[in-house]
Amino acid sequence: MEPQLGLLELSVNNRYSIWVRERLNELPDSFTITDPSISGHPIVFASNGFLKMSGYEMEEVVGKNGRMFQGPKTDRRSVMEIREAIRQEKTMQISIVNYRRDGTPFWMLFCLCPVFGKEDGRVVHFVGVQVPITRKRRQSGGCNGVSYCEDRTGFRETVIGSCRREVCSDSVVELGRVLAMDSDSRELEVDEQCEASDLEKAKAKLAMNSILSVLAHYSESTGRLVCGKRCCLARTGLLGSSLTLSLGRIKQSFVLTDPHLPDMPIVYASDAFLKLTGYARHEVLGRNCRFLGGVDTNLSTILQIKESIQTEQACTVRILNYRKDKSLFWNVLHISPVRNASGKIAYYVGVQIDESCENHDKHGLSPEMRQRSAVGAVKVAVRSLSMVAGTSESQQQLPMNSILLD
Amino acid sequence: MLRIKRVPTVVSNFQKEEGEEGARAGGGGGGCGRNCLQKCCIPGAKLPLYAFKRLNKISGEKDLLKPDDKEPPVAFLDSLLLGEWEDRAQKGLFRYDVTACETKVIPGECGFIAQLNEGRHLKKRPTEFRVDKVLQPFDGSKFNFTKVGQEEVLFQFEASEENEVQFFPNAPIDVENSPSVVAINVSPIEYGHVLLIPRILECLPQRIDRDSFLLALYMAAEAGNPYFRLGYNSLGAFATINHLHFQAYYLAVPFPIEKAPTRKITSFNGGVIISELLNYPVRGLVFEGGNTLDDLSNAVSDSCICLQENNIPYNVLIADSAKRIFLVPQCYAEKQALGEVNPELLDTQVNPAVWEISGHMVLKRKKDYEEASEANAWRLLAEVSLSEERFQEVKALIFETISCGDNGNPSVSELLLEEEPDDKPKSLEEGDALNKSSRHHAMVSGECLVLH
């Protein structure tokens, strides 16, 4: 299940050099860096502050998705908001319940900011800053949730003072709670709605700014510059990182080609495709698929593919292909048009099966069915994401601090 | 008796016009010739079988990361469901290519989703539906899912006997074992649109029971993707087939109902949190949390049972991989039958079932699609909603029912009835102005009587 550690390390090192870790760990703050281009959008770096706050070891969190810190008391609507911010590559901040390693829940202010590569304007990482929310307490010596509860039953004013507007506007809930107190006086304080204070918000903003400036500075040393704003808007032919993220989850060997560009080049190649053919990603992007053919490739099969593309139909062929090292394989290739939200053909997907490696796993799906599932997964990813693009394009261009500054 | 006329959705290629039913081929030795799911064709039939692992707890996602958790042999949603679905698409079993239907997110706060689907309702005559009875007995002479062809069934879905996920590409259909199946909807409203038919051979009417609802939650949890949702329409709330089924499809956009703010009303036994939708055109309840999936499931299914037994039509949306469930009682069909719905809204022929109520609008006319706006969508859904007064009554009824057996806590419903409605958001009050039918309702021993 876990992505290779190498990939996770390279995600940081190749962009900011190996020296950045040391510098990041000098920051006192609790934060994580995640890489949306790796399958599962894993954490690639967690600060010492984060490990201290959460109680986890570095190797327990690197490679995992941030959802591992959520639990039953985490508000699902807030989780959805974070998920959508990631998909739309926006900054956001939200108060949310997370869980420490020992299972205790706590409120924190979570701030998310995308980090863009300057070369093409794509999101390369997300930084997540976590600021624990501490509650003001009126009574001295009250240092845990229980004494907080006692506050609440005794003095309604105290409740309003410490629990902020959600509760204030909601007298019925509060009344219900007070009445239910006898049977449930040990209710954890995480059960209350909670808002971060201005101080906590300022702290998060400050932390985010210093992290981004460290990342920007260290990216100069690798020449692969990053910034907190999308600086390059020309993204022709490239897919957004949301689509890349969705496509990255599909395990089969496949490519997407763009019929609207001259010579219908490959615009996405899956990891399994690169493994199957032996090419590196940069060697295949931008090229027409015909480079997989060779002297012994049947011309009539190629014509059959051309015809199905012309008639906008799906087709399955068996074609002789060549790897980078010139070795041959029989490719059971399925090609299908992929439509965007307007119902127009946006791409063609080609899914490859190396006939010699077909494993006839009795307890799994047939290779043909897996091929179909890759087509299905590509179709839903393209359709859904082009649906959002129309409305979110304008919001995407918000300067990175527009939320943090409020 | 209240009836409305509407064009029924064709969910199967074996669904005939009313009256055409019974025109069966032959009935000779090799089954009825349609390869259906009835006694004639089942012997020897095989279908893939996906057996899910029962959970003891709603995780902590942590549970998913335990090292002893094996990767399942087949990814439920991404490999099995989408693969089988695409396979049926390649075989031409659908009435149209849904990915060729234009769709967009309507600008505005809510993010309503509009789809132009001109093919879905073609070639069908409007049929009369009785809308004043939420529970009606199963009628074997009408279309039901045992009549679909086996090629429309994707796989069997059941709890694993072992403590792990199992997959059998070719499992016999065990009639004794009451298989539940997942079949395609040949008139999909999005990619991967399927029907979950619990214990299909038992021919259950459209009516929620605890086991079937839990099965639906397991399907959502098994898919493990927040954009794969299940929905349920009761009779009188735009279900057209009286054979127990849930719908499901994949759409990677948040639904407006999921984005709506909520206000917590109460914690229920087993840690289930019940909230109320705020700032949404339709009034409804949200269930989440719960120490176990069973706790959450029972809280919702008991509420559904309460509604159907009190003859209140409703819709259910199972969202966020079964972590959030929306329960929406509605009264549109009843209003329609009483002639109280604005004719302009009726003209759109939009049937406000679970997906429409959740904010995914399937529009039949290009004009409506092009003019789709948040205000229009809001206006339609406001007609679907119960009035504030009626909603409070229904809510009290639900809480009274489900807190029976809830020990110790003061009756939640008593508290709720005292609630002052003055903190109501403005937008809902506007909805009330349209919502004239509230005065027609009277509570008589828990029955919803329509006075007219």
Boundaries of every domain in chain A: 5-133+196-232, 145-191, 241-395
Nearest to B82 among A363, A376, A391 (CB): A376
pLDDT bin (cut points 50, 70, 90) of residue B446 is: very low
Mean pLDDT of chain A: 80
Q: Which residues of A touch B113 (CB under 8 A)?
A: 387
Task: Inform me whether the pLDDT recorded for B413 exceeds 80.
Answer: no
Q: Mutual orientation of helices A76-88 and A241-248 as an angle, nearest 10°? A: 110
Q: Which of A35-39, B111-115, B321-325 has the lowest mean pLDDT?
A: A35-39
Q: Which residues of B touch A393 (CB under 8 A)?
A: none
Nearest Cα of chain A lies from the Cα of B440 at a distance, in angstroms, of 28
Smallest CA–CA distance from A85 into chain B, residue: B254
Number of neighbouring beta carbons within 10 Å of residue A315: 14
| Cβ–Cβ below 8 Å for B71 and A179 | no
pLDDT value of residue B420: 43
Q: Which of B18, B17, B47 is nearest to B35 (CA)?
A: B47
pLDDT value of residue B437: 40
Nearest to B85 among A1, A76, A376 (CB): A376
pLDDT bin (cut points 50, 70, 90) of residue B205 is: very high
| Cβ–Cβ below 8 Å for A364 and B58 | no
Model pLDDT for residues A226-237, shown as the tens digit of each residue: 877 766 554 444
Task: Inform me whether the pLDDT recorded for B426 exceeds 90.
Answer: no
For chain B, give the percent of residues with pLDDT over 90.
59
Highest mean pLDDT among A43-57, A232-246, B342-356: A43-57
Q: Which of A346-360, B168-182, B323-337 has the lowest mean pLDDT?
A: A346-360
**For A5-133+196-232, which CATH superfamily applies?**
PAS domain (3.30.450.20)
| Cβ–Cβ below 8 Å for B251 and A76 | no
Question: In the predicted model, what is the mean pLDDT of residues A137-144?
Answer: 38
pLDDT value of residue B69: 52
| Cβ–Cβ below 8 Å for B86 and A72 | no
Question: In the predicted model, what is the mean pLDDT of residues A329-343?
Answer: 95
pLDDT value of residue B123: 63
pLDDT value of residue B412: 46
Question: In the predicted model, what is the mean pLDDT of residues A179-188?
Answer: 39
pLDDT value of residue A388: 66
Question: In the predicted model, what is the mean pLDDT of residues B102-116?
Answer: 94
| Cβ–Cβ below 8 Å for B99 and A84 | no
Phi, psi of A390 (to 5 degrees): -55, -45
Question: In the predicted model, what is the mean pLDDT of residues B9-32?
Answer: 62
Smallest CA–CA distance from A246 into chain B, residue: B252
Q: Sign of the C-alpha dihedral, residues A91, A94, A96, A101?
A: positive
Contacts of B208 (CB under 8 A, 6+ apart): B232, B234, B301, B304, B305, B308, B316
Contacts of B12 (CB under 8 A, 6+ apart): B143, B145, B147, B148, B149, B152, B183, B186
Q: Which residues of B touch A41 (CB under 8 A)?
A: none
Fold that domain B35-61+70-450 belongs to in CATH: HIT family, subunit A (3.30.428)
Q: Which residues of B touch A369 (CB under 8 A)?
A: 79, 83-84, 87
Question: In the predicted model, what is the mean pLDDT of residues A280-308?
Answer: 93
Smallest CA–CA distance from B83 into chain A, residue: A373
Q: Which of A121-135, A178-192, A234-248 has the lowest mean pLDDT?
A: A178-192
| Cβ–Cβ below 8 Å for A183 and B409 | yes
Nearest Cα of chain A lies from the Cα of B320 at a distance, in angstroms, of 8
Q: A321: burial class by Cβ within 10 Å (0-12, 13-18, 19+)? A: buried
Could you write out the DSSP letters of every residue in B192-203?
T-EEEETTGGG-
pLDDT value of residue A217: 93
Smallest CA–CA distance from B417 into chain A, residue: A172
Task: Inform me whether the pLDDT recorded for B45 exceeds 70.
Answer: yes
CATH class of this structure's domain A241-395: alpha beta
- Buried/exposed B183-202: b ≥16 CB within 10 Å, e otherwise: bbbbbbbbbbbbbbbbbbbe
Q: Where are the domains of chain B?
A: 35-61+70-450
pLDDT value of residue B348: 83
| Cβ–Cβ below 8 Å for B191 and A385 | no
- Would you name the residues of B annotated as active-site residues? 245
**ipTM of this complex:** 0.82
Alpha-carbon distance of B176 to B172, in angstroms, equals: 11
pLDDT value of residue B429: 42
DSSP state of A66: G
pLDDT value of residue B20: 52
Q: Which residues of A touch B62 (CB under 8 A)?
A: 68, 71, 99
Highest mean pLDDT among A181-190, B244-253, B339-348: B244-253
pLDDT value of residue B334: 85
| Cβ–Cβ below 8 Å for B73 and A84 | no
Model pLDDT for residues B56-71, shown as the tens digit of each residue: 655 444 444 444 456 7
Alpha-carbon distance of B438 to B413, in angstroms, equals: 20
Q: Which residues of B touch A191 (CB under 8 A)?
A: 267
pLDDT value of residue B163: 84
Model pLDDT for residues A193-203, shown as the tens digit of each residue: 778 889 999 99
Mean pLDDT of chain B: 84
Smallest CA–CA distance from B65 into chain A, residue: A68
Look up residue B103 and give its amino acid.
Answer: T
Model pLDDT for residues A378-395, shown as the tens digit of each residue: 999 999 888 865 443 333
Interface test with B, best of A380, A384, A387, A393 (most B CBs within 10 A): A380
Alpha-carbon distance of B83 to B222, in angstroms, equals: 16
